[in-house]
Structure formats: structure tokens, C-alpha cells
Structure 1
Amino acid sequence: MGAQERQRGILSRIIRETDPPTGALPRIPLSDTEADEAYYARVGEVLDLAGNIGALLMASGTPATATMDQVTAIAAAYGVDRCEVDVINTTIHVAAYRGPSSPVSTLHIVQSRSIDFSRLAAVDRLIGKIRAGEISPSEARTELDTIITAPHPYRRWIATLAWGALAFATAGTLGASWLACVVSALSTMTIDRVNRRLNRHGLPFFFQYAVGGAIAAAPPIILYWLSPRLGIHFEPTVAIAAGLVVLLAGLSLVGSVGDVISGAPVTAAGRFFELVMMTGATIAGVALVLHLANRFGAPFVAIDAHAPPALAEFPARVAFGAASAAAYALACYAERSAAIAAAFGGAAGTIAFLLAQGAGLGAVVASFLAAVPIGLVGRLMERRNLAPPLVVSIAGIVPLLPGLALLHGIYAILNDQHALGFASVLGAFAIGTALAAGVTLGEWSSWKVRRRRLQARRADRRTRLPGQTALSSAD
């Protein structure tokens, strides 16, 4: 029996951990829980305000981690320090500790709604007031209600014209003729009006994107079919690709990839799956039109995956890129300063992309390098109080979205070139991911540089203070 007990003791010492498997949770002292009743009554109001702002940010395409930071900062600004925030694609859960027997939490549903950059800018200014301590929770809630219920800053037909201008400028960026640019603009404005009517009847977004893809492809194919009879030369490829870019621009690619990079996989999976489904619906609409055109004897359309780089047209393409970003910002009801900031972002991205292509880099690497300055410009415009960085990042990548590569993949699949087609579609997704990753890296780099400068300025002030005090005492 003694030998067995010794063996058991040796075995237990081998198996048993010397330290606990997890770190010990800190015990909250009772003195911290003895807050006044006014604080207890204010916690619910603060959490409801922070959750509503977070839901609005998520609906506008803000990444999950950025939304969590903003909600936590709002709660901390009103004295709610022990606040936990959980954000997923459709809900925001905010909880605060008020003692062992009376915790408080709130749950908010993220409503899907059209992107309104003017509303996003107004919320950004409201958050600035809250963090600066300039407004009370009740006043902030009243201002938030005003922002949510406020009408768009200008009429709907102006936004429709802006969508047409976006398609016109996108086709120009891809090197299209004037006729192709006009056809793209008219098709896109038709998509906007038709989908707006379908949205009123409650048609799911999947079918709306499918209808949009069909409308984007039908007019260019019909005009290409009739061009010999009309005595004109018309290439439908870029016109269709421009319509696809407009449809893809409405999807929050930056937010989904930003969630993956910043460590929010659940939200990223939901957003990215939605992105894939809407893109698939657009592909289905285009494929249906191309299939019907082939069945009815339409002539063959030669589609390449990429527009050839033309450095001789460098100024024109940069101008079209800036116009595309500004037009998308206006189509999403951005303010004038935000549209100008988006134009700077689009121009910077287009310049970097053309230079990278001229250096012989591939489309994915060139897209990544082009998106980095867009993120930098977004943070710069934020510091100048011109626009939230999300406005510049989403609008700035619009001229670089891979509409032509996506169209090439669809057409290859329809012509039984499945390997080439799926490779082109995956390449389009790779370009989109590279764009979002570059924007995220640019924003992070700008934030790190700004943080180092602020730390250097604070250190410089601390070193100067003793000398200044000595001089003043000597005087």
C-alpha cells in the first residue's frame, strides 16, 4: 500500500499544474460599488445613447472594432468606466457593471438602411461633442433623434444624377469612348430609379442587385447588336463594367475586410457573406442578359480582364478617378467638404494605381499600393475636420473596383471556360480585398504617425517648462 501511495503522489505531481490555468479575475472592492443613485439612474440613459450611435455607425459600414471603440468612449465620457461592448453584424450589446446585484445592459438591432454620408458626418460631430464634454446625455439623445429623422440634404433626383456621373467617370477611367460613357450613365440612372421603386415594394436586396445587373448589361449589348445597322462603332465591354462598378460600390467592402484584419471574425463573416451574395446576384443578372443575347444571335463580344495601362492618358484618368469618388460621395448624400475630400482620395488612389501598373506590378499588388494613400488621405481629412475617414475610404476605392475582371469571369464561365472564369472572379475578389486591406493599413499608419508626433510634442513641452520657469523667475 505504501508503494501505491507513493506512485499516486508522484503521478499527481506530474499531472497537476503548479499555476492556475487562467489568470485570476480581480475582485471588485465594495467601495467602488457604493455609487450614488444619480449615477445608477444615468447609466441606462448613457448605454441607450451609446448603443443607438453604435447601431447607426454599423449601418453606415463602420468596422466592428471602430464601432466598439466609439461606444466605449461615449460611455466613458459620461463616467461609465466598467462597460463591455459586443458588436456583431446585426446587433450591439452594451453592458455596464453597477454592483453584484444590479447590472444593466441594453441590446440594439442594426437596421439595414441606405448609406447617408451627411448623417454619418453629423454623428461624427456629435461624438466629438460628447467626448469633449460639451453636451449632456439628454441633449445628445435629442440631437441624435434629430439626425436620424432629418431628411436628406438634397433631393433624390440629384443623387440619381450623381450615380449617372459616377458611371460616366468610371467608364472614362477604364478608357471608354464618349458614347460608352453616356450609355453607362443612362443605364445606371435607370438602375437607381427602378431599384428605388422595387425597394418601396419590399423586394429583397438580392433580387434588386440581380435586376441591377441585368439593366447594366442589357442596353450596351442591345446597342452593340444594332451598331452595324446604325453605322456606329460601339464596344459594350467597358460600359457594362462601369455599371458593375456602380453596383459593387454600394457594398461595404472596406468594413468587412477591416473587421477581418482588426480581429472581429463573426461580424466579418456576416458582412463578407452578404457581400458575396449581392455580388453573386449581380453576376446572375449580367449572365442572364448575356445568355439571352447569345441565344438570340447577338454577335460575339471579346472581353479582356483588365484595361491596358495608358500613361499617355494619365491626367485624364486621374481626373476621372477624382470625379468618380466625388460622384459616389454625392450619390450617398455627402456634404460639400466630404465630396471634396473624397475627390482627393480618388485622385491619390488613381495616381498610385497607374504608376504601379506602369511599373509592371500585378493588379492585386497595384490595388493594394493604391489604397494605402486613400487611407492616409482619409485620416488627413479627418484631422482637418472635412469628413469622416470612412467617407474618403469607401468613395476613394470606387474608381479601382474590379468591374472589368468580374465581367471577364462571367463571360468566360458562360462560354464554358470555367477554369479561366472562376480564376478571374477570384482575382476580382482578391483585388477588392487588397483595396480594403490597403485602406486599413493607410489609416493605421496615419494614426501611428500622428500618435508619435503627439507624444513628441508632449515630451518637448515637458522639457521646455523648467527652462521657461527659470527665465521668468530671473526676469
Structure 2
Amino acid sequence: MSLFSSMRDRFRASSGNFATIDAAKAAPPPSPLAPVDLTDAAQVTGVMEIAARIGEILICAGTANSDARAQIHLVASSYGLHYCHVDIVMNTITIHTAIGTGESRRNLHVFRVAPSLTVDFSRLSAVDRLIRSIHQGTTPPAQAEKRLDEINAMGPPYPRWQVLLGWGVMGGTFAVMLGGDALVGVISFLVSVLIMGINMWLANYRLPPFYQNVTGGFIAVVPAAILYNVAAGYGINFSPSQIISSGIIVLVAGLTLVQCLVDGITRAPVTSAARFFEAIMSTGAIIGGVGVGIQFSSWLGFSLPPLATIAPPVYHHVPLLIACGSIGSAAFALACGASRIEVLVSGATAAAGMVFYYFVVIPFGVTSVIACGIAAVAVGLAGGLLSRRYMMPPLITMIVGYTPMLPGLSLYRGMYATLNEQMITGFSNLAKALAITGALAAGVVLGERVARRLRRPKYFRPYSAFKRLGRYSFRRAARLTQRAPRIPRVPLSPFAPRVNRPVLPPKLGPKKPSKSAESSAATATPPPSAPKEPK
């Protein structure tokens, strides 16, 4: 990690406070010379392979197709390969270009398949720094390949116990944010650690994520139901729905359910449809696990209480809710491998979104769907500006910032009502959860686009000056010349106006005085009289 942190400090002073996607869409690399031989098929293919490997890491981290495509173009053009075609569909990357002309023309293709989508912020930050260094022109292709090998071989930045601690803090603080007390927070902390610990153990045996989500949903319900009935026997009352909802949020946060809708908004419908179906299947697995847990708890004799009406928050509790949401989001960033500064910035982004949610949107009496969408705009804007200020990928603040607003409670209420033959209530809650997800996606994309417009670098338009120059014709230039009397003219030019012609110099020789000069001289000083002769 010291190598990549030194790279970040090295390029922080030389580059502006903008993201790599801003540089990709604003201007080509600063060097006009190609560092590779564009007529050599081996060197061109090597550049395309580097760009495809970078795009693979971006896609696995959840980057939208349009942004990944732009950054692939940036890497290729930084090495001189300005003319190449990039196509991304789901998890496949295809890059095409042609070299040579005539009979020596050759078509080159690079095809790469990305593995499954996993939220890993450490690799995303490392590849973002690599893209910056390539754009600065300080990383040749051989060194870029070596760094990509190092990024692919990177292990988790934190030990497993620290990752589990982050998941536990996330679950405990979110349970308090949903209205629980200290006891609910402690129980949610333990349940979240148990859920993610078992899922990590199952992942070592290569169990598909579908069954991991089913297991997580089951574990989120059964301990909460057992502890509720045991505590009720001692006269202690708490709401198990907050514990179950926090466990659902912990599971849903790693699915990037919102990111699949971002692809549809940014005009990648095929990828969006495929990812959305995958996210729906994973979410359905969580709901199925919750349903199995509810039935299993009832079979054991530990039934859950009926759903209570959700009361609006009291305003003197709002600062506590904002603090819990911010701490939980920062813990989620830590569990996903973010660095220290990225954890702090992500927590500040989530806090900004919740402040906007409670103090700006909710007082107007709007519904929760509209409130989440408007608050997501603030999350995208604040996260985009803060991420550009601290030289980190904006995707991190986007994913972490809207996590406190994920509809975990709506998913649980919909599943519980459906199992208890309240179909209208159940389907309305499930539809509400889907609507909140879409509103979060639309709002966070809009806010990030506004931040991109505010902090974008100057666009490189080399032909704009020539276009402005072409508006001035020869006749207009001639008219401007005639209106400017200070323009020097050639003496005695036949095209120069007579009023500006210089006066001819006087001829050499005796000069005869004019009559007016003689008369004026006579009146002014009379001539002296001649002396008289003596008689």
C-alpha cells in the first residue's frame, strides 16, 4: 500500500482536483507524441490489453459502462492509440482497432471477460491512481503491466476480524437509526457479525452467492425471534423488526442494487437488464431466507410480533440518527477495503445526505420515495465534490452515501405481510422498496453529474480559434481597415486616400516672396530712407 500512497502524493500536486472520468471526457493526454509504435501489432495489442485489464477492474468494482468505456479510451489514447472502438456488455470487454493502410492493413481485437462483481474499494483506488499516472505520461506500458499484476495480487487491506467489526458496527448503528435502543444496537451488532462471518466461511467453499444470501436472510430472523421471546419472559421489550431490517441492509449493501439501475440511466440497457435481473435474484434470495426464518421460528415456538406503525422521528433525536447513519456508512466503507481518508469522506457524504433528508426534504411533507430521491441528489453532489477534492474515485462516495436510505425495513415488512396473508400490504411495501431503489439511483447519478460539470477541467478544442477566424471575410477586414485611421499607410500609394497623402517637399532654388508677404512686411517695418547729399 505504500507504493500506491506515494503515487497519490506524487500526482496530487501535479494534477487538478478532478476525477479520472473528468479527464477522460475533457481532453486527450498532454503529450502529443505516441510512446509506442502504432505500426507494430505487438505494441498496439499490448496497449489494448492494458486498457482491457483496467476496464475489468473497474467493471468488477461496479463502475457504470459509460464511465468504464471512457476511462479505457483514456488509457489507450495516453499511449497514442487514439482511434479504437470499445464495447462493454455485462462483464465482457471488446476493443478493436486497425493499423496500416491498403494491403498492409491489419485488424486487431482484444476480448476480456471480467469475473463476478465484488465491492472492493482498495483495488478500485489503486487502479484509479494507475490511470492518473498513465494520463500524466509517467508510466510506460511495461511498468503499467507490472502494476496491474500487483493490483490483481493484492490481498485484503485489513484483517478479517477488522472487516467483521466494520460489518457489525454498520448493523448496530443502522438498527439504532431505524428507531432501536442500545440493546437493539448490541444485538444487531452480534447478528451482523454472525451473518457476514458465516457468509465468508461459505465463500471459502465456493458456494454460489444465491445460497449465501438465503443463509444470511435466515440468520437475520432466527436469533432476533429467539432473543425477543426470551427477553419478553424477563419483562424486556424491544422490536425485532429493527434487528432484522439492519441485517437485510447489511446483505443488500453488497449487492449494488442501485448500480444496476445506474447503467440503465446512463444508456447501457443490456447491461442494466442483466445486472438488474441478477440483483433481483439476490434480493429475492434474501427475502426467501427471511421467509424461511419466520416460518422456522414459528415452528420452534418463537413467533414474531405483528408489525407496528412507524412513527415519524422526533426532531431532538435527529442528530443521533444522522450520527448513526454516518458512522454506519463509514464502517461499511471500512469493511469494503477503503482507506482511512476514504472512510472519513464517505461518512461525511452520508451525513450530508441525511442532513438534507431530515432538515430540508421531510419538513415539506413529501413521501419517502421522493425524499430519498432528492436526498440522493445531495449525496451525489456532496460525494462528487469531496471525492474530487481528496483525489479518490467518486464511485466510493456514491455507493456508501446512499446506504442509510436502503429500503431494508420495507423489504421485511413486505415479506412479513405476504406470509401472513396480507397481500395488498405486502406487495405495496415491496413495490415501495423498488421505487426507493430507483429514486436513489436517479438522484445519485444526477448529483454526481452536477459535480462533474462544476469541477470539470477545460475542454480541449483546438479548432475553435480557426472557426472564429473564418467568420471574418476579406471585405469585412477591408472595412475594418478603412475605419481605423491609425493604421500606417504606404506613402504615395495609389490606393491610399488623398487626405492622408503627405505634403510634397519644397523645390530647391531662390524663393520669391508672395504679394501678401511683401505687403505685410511693408506695413510692419517701413524701409529706412537714404542719406541726403550735402549741398
Scaled by the length of structure 1, the TM-score of the pair is: 0.85
- 1:339 is matched with which residue? 343
Are 2:171 and 2:192, in contact at CA under 8 Å, matched by a contact in 1? yes
C-alpha distance 186-300 of structure 1, shift in aligned 2 (>3 A): closer
Q: Supply the AA of the counterpart residue of 2:42.
A: A
8 Å contact from structure 1 (residues 88, 266) kept in 2: yes
| Runs of 4+ residues deviating >6 angstroms | 452-455
- Deviation, structure 1 residue 298: 3.4
- 1:270 aligned onto 2:271: no
What letter is aligned with 1:312? H
Q: Secondary structure at the match of 2:99?
A: coil
Spell out, residue by residue over 1:169-203, the C-alpha distance to the aligned partner (whole angstroms, 9 max, x if none): 11111121111111111111111111111111111
Equivalent in the alignment of 1:98: 99
Structure that is richer in helix per residue = 1
1:26-425 paired onto structure 2 within 5 Å: 39-99=40-100, 101-112=105-116, 114-304=118-308, 306=310, 308-355=312-359, 356-425=361-430
Contact 1:309-1:357 at 8 Å conserved across structures: no
Deviation at 1:450, TM superposition (A): 2.6
Give CA deviations for 1:105-159 in whole Å, capped at 9, x if unaligned.
1111111264221111111010111112111111111111111102222211100
CA distance in 2 between partners of 1:383 and 1:228 (Å): 51
Q: In structure 1, how many angstroms separate the alpha carbons of the residues matched to 2:64 and 2:300?
A: 46
Residue 130 of structure 2 contacts residue 144 of structure 2 at CA under 8 Å; is this kept in 1? yes
Paired with 1:254 and 1:129, the residues of 2 have a C-alpha distance of 30
Q: Is the 1:96–1:104 Cα contact (8 Å) retained in structure 2?
A: yes
1:304–1:405 contact (8 Å) kept in structure 2? no
The reply to whether residue 436 of structure 1 matches residue 441 of structure 2 is: yes
Letter of the aligned partner of 1:411 in structure 2?
A: Y
C-alpha distance after superposition, 1:54-109 (max 9, x if no partner): 01110001111111111111111111111111112121111112246411111111
SS at match of 1:103: strand
Structure 2 residue 455 is matched with structure 1 residue 450: yes
Distance change >3 Å, CA 282–CA 306, structure 1 → 2: farther
CA distance in 2: counterparts of 1:194 and 1:275, whole angstroms = 21
Q: Secondary structure at the match of 2:87?
A: strand
Q: Would the alpha carbon gap of residues 36 and 193 (structure 1) be closer, same or farther in structure 2, given more than 3 Å must change? A: closer
SS in 1 for 2:445: helix
Q: 1:305 to 1:265 in 2, by over 3 A?
A: farther
Deviations 1:241-292 (A, max 9, x none): 0110111000113321111111000110111111100000000011111122
2:48 alignment partner AA: L
Identity of aligned residues (%): 38
How far off is 1:232 after superposition?
A: 1.4
Unaligned runs of 5+ in 2: 1-35, 465-535
The structure that has the greater radius of gyration is 2
Amino acid at match of 1:85: V
Deviation digits for residues 387-435 of structure 1 (CA, Å, limit 9, x no counterpart): 2111111011111101111111001100111122111111101101111
Tell me the distance in 2 between the aligned counterparts of 1:285 and 1:155.
28
Aligned-partner SS, 1:86:
strand
Q: Distance in 1 between matches of 2:309 and 2:260?
A: 25
Matched residue pairs, number?
A: 422
Contact residue 188 and residue 243 of structure 2 kept, 8 A:
yes
Amino acid at match of 2:93: I
Counterpart CA distance in 2 for 1:236 and 1:157 is 26
Structure-2 change in CA distance of 1:112 and 1:306 (3 Å): farther
In structure 1, C-alpha distance between the alignment counterparts of 2:426 and 2:452, rounded to whole Å: 40
User: 1: distance between equivalents of 2:226 and 2:203?
Assistant: 27
SS in 2 for 1:387: coil
- Alpha-carbon RMSD across the aligned residues, in angstroms, is 1.9
The answer to whether the Cα contact below 8 Å between 1:166 and 1:185 also exists between their aligned partners in 2 is yes
**Alpha-carbon separation, structure 1, partners of 2:449 and 2:458:** 14
CA contact (8 A) 1:305 1:405 kept: no
Q: Distance in 1 between matches of 2:440 and 2:355?
A: 14
Q: Distance in 2 between matches of 1:168 and 1:283?
A: 20
TM-score, normalised to structure 2, is 0.76
Q: Which moved more, 1:112-121 or 1:64-73?
A: 112-121
Whole-angstrom distance in 2 between the partners of 1:237 and 1:383: 38
Q: Partners of 2:200 and 2:311 in 1: how far apart? A: 31
What is the deviation of 1:37? 6.4
Question: For 2:426 and 2:239, how far apart are their aligned partners in 1?
Answer: 21
Label 1:425 to 1:37 Cα distance change in 2 as closer, same or farther (>3 A): closer
> How far is 1:220 from its partner?
0.9
Query: In the alignment, residue 255 of structure 2 is paired with which amino acid?
Result: L
Question: Secondary structure of 2:455's match?
Answer: helix
Bigger mean CA deviation after superposition, 238-247 or 86-95: 86-95
Pick which of 199-208 and 108-117 moved more: 108-117
2:431 corresponds to: 426
AA at the equivalent of 2:324: F
